[in-house]
Amino acid sequence: MTTGQDTRAQGGTGRTRGRPRSFDRATALEKALMAFWEHGYEATSVSDLTRVMGIGAPSLYAAFGDKRTLFDEVVRVYAGSHGAFTDRALAEEPTARAGVARMLREAAAEYTDPAHPHGCLIVHAATNCTSPEVETLLRDMRNANITAIEARIRADVAAGLLPAGTDAAALARHTGAMIQGMSQQARDGARREELEALAEIAMTIWPHD
Amino acid sequence: MTTGQDTRAQGGTGRTRGRPRSFDRATALEKALMAFWEHGYEATSVSDLTRVMGIGAPSLYAAFGDKRTLFDEVVRVYAGSHGAFTDRALAEEPTARAGVARMLREAAAEYTDPAHPHGCLIVHAATNCTSPEVETLLRDMRNANITAIEARIRADVAAGLLPAGTDAAALARHTGAMIQGMSQQARDGARREELEALAEIAMTIWPHD
DNA sequence: AGATTTACCTAGCGATCGCTACAGAAAAAC
DNA sequence: GTTTTTCTGTAGCGATCGCTAGGTAAATCT
């Protein structure tokens, strides 16, 4: 058996044969997420992981595959939870401008939340990484995020909500750089109010202010 | 002999006894700088270093001390060369605003220069680092840079070159976040013109524009 | 009950990490 | 020349890396 796939837990009543797992998979995954978030992919060793997850190495490999696969799942979970505020802001606000404003405001709060490591996992966890695949995985997510912002801005330009001459690409890249800069600032000890002031300032670059 | 200090090379004519070094120390140091710049402190192994520097491990330890000491020296060299443009811009331009504008413009060029790794060594090389001292070393340099910008802005406010209500701390932090964001963008593949557009946009936040 | 299936624990694999002991080689000092 | 000093190359130290074989424990199935 070489596949580490976990096909159980399909609804609660679906029982399985064999000895049941002695730990909660989701809880252990969350612990792994926190460790990767705090120290990054390479600097988090498998023995670090087994310690914070409270399980042995064979259990980790049986439940999550290898370290790389576990990290992939962690990134997926992160993108759908702590990292989902950017997509939500773009989708739920009526204009690109309001979406970006909310995105930056929420980033200030999220990146300095004392309940978890500071900054953004997708920005930092694969920096200085020996594995090019892992580095590329997060880089692509960062660039995709900027592309999504650009598309949202373009839509507003097309709808006449923004001036026709608006440089959507530059505006989107600026937003991405601000997010990444705020994440770095949060890691370097900036407080929430300071990042909120940053977000406020950053919004003044938008057309007709 | 436990001290790895190098007390030779005190002026060119000062000869020394014993077998002379078979490599140029400054050249080897520059190679180490490029390696650390590209892959960061931890991801650059000693065997990586000996390979790119073209010397054996004992020669490296004799000439530079241990890996950590070599990195310290690399950071010092970087700060005095590729990383000196920020201090130069603040010192040589007549106003804080002009200094920051030049700083961001030069960052766009420097961070995308094809002659060396992209982005800023001080921003990235100690991210996800097992050694807290190394991480702190670069973090302190980043924060000191922002403090220097803030001091330059304060001086202009005091001199009446900027409005009395100017929030120097927020303006300085914004500049720092932009620099760090631009460095990340450069690492993620942004081209020079794109970063220059970013710098242009970033300057529109300054008072009375 | 016995058989089967799955998970856990101990122990350790080969590879790499940062680093160094040791002996030979190349220069100056005598 | 011989001695002294310093550098270089080989070879390998102990520690940690990601990962797994093998035996035992705990559940279901017949």
What pLDDT does residue B17 have?
A: 87
B173 touches chain A (CB under 8 A): yes
* A3-12, B48-57, B74-83: least confident range: A3-12
Strand C contact with A17 (CB < 7 A): yes
Q: Do domains A25-74 and A82-203 have the same CATH topology?
A: no
Rounded percentage of chain B residues whose pLDDT exceeds 90: 90
Cβ of A204 within 8 Å of Cβ of B204? The answer is yes
B5 touches chain A (CB under 8 A): no
Cβ of A173 within 8 Å of Cβ of B185? The answer is yes
pLDDT digits (tens, 9 = 90+) for B104-126: 999 999 999 999 999 999 999 99
What pLDDT does residue A16 have?
A: 81
Over 70: is that where the pLDDT of A70 sits? yes
The nucleotides of chain D lying under 7 Å from a protein CB are 4-12, 16-22, 25-29
Choose which CATH entry (1.20.1560.10, 1.10.10.60, 3.60.20.30, 2.30.110.10) describes domain A25-74: 1.10.10.60
Domain locations along chain A: 25-74, 82-203
Chain CA centroid to CA A18, Å? 36
Average pLDDT over chain A, rounded to whole? 93
CATH architecture entry for B25-66: Orthogonal Bundle (1.10)
pLDDT band at A35 (very low <50, low <70, confident <90, very high): very high
Which residues 84-143 of B interface with strand C at a CB distance below 7 A?
A: none
For residues A184-205, one letter each, b for 16 or more C-beta atoms within 10 angstroms of the residue's C-beta and e for the rest, the string is bbbbbebeeebbbbbbbbbbeb
Q: Give the nucleotide nearest to B49 (CA→C1').
A: C18
A28 touches chain B (CB under 8 A): no
Strand D contact with A46 (CB < 7 A): yes
Question: What CATH fold (topology level) applies to the domain B82-203?
Answer: Tetracycline Repressor; domain 2 (1.10.357)
pLDDT digits (tens, 9 = 90+) for B124-179: 999 999 999 999 999 999 999 999 999 999 999 999 999 999 999 999 999 999 99
Q: Pick the residue with more confidence: B122 or A3?
A: B122
Nearest to A198 among B130, B170, B179 (CB): B170
What pLDDT does residue B35 have?
A: 98
What pLDDT does residue A15 have?
A: 65
What pLDDT does residue B88 have?
A: 98
Smallest Cα distance from A194 to chain B, Å: 7
Cβ of A173 within 8 Å of Cβ of B167? The answer is no
pLDDT digits (tens, 9 = 90+) for A171-182: 999 999 999 999
pLDDT digits (tens, 9 = 90+) for A98-156: 999 999 999 999 999 999 999 999 999 999 999 999 999 999 999 999 999 999 999 99
Asked if A70 contacts A173 with a C-beta cutoff of 8 angstroms, the reply is: no
What pLDDT does residue A32 have?
A: 98
Over 80: is that where the pLDDT of A74 sits? yes
Amino acid residing at B34: M
For the CA of B112 and the C1' of C14, the distance in angstroms is 40
Over 60: is that where the pLDDT of B9 sits? no
A140 touches chain B (CB under 8 A): no
Smallest Cα distance from B41 to chain A, Å: 8
Q: What is the CA radius of gyration of chain B?
A: 20
Dist CA B186 CA B190 (whole Å): 5
For the CA of A192 and the C1' of D17, the distance in angstroms is 37
What pLDDT does residue A167 have?
A: 96
Average pLDDT over chain B, rounded to whole? 93
Over 70: is that where the pLDDT of B208 sits? no
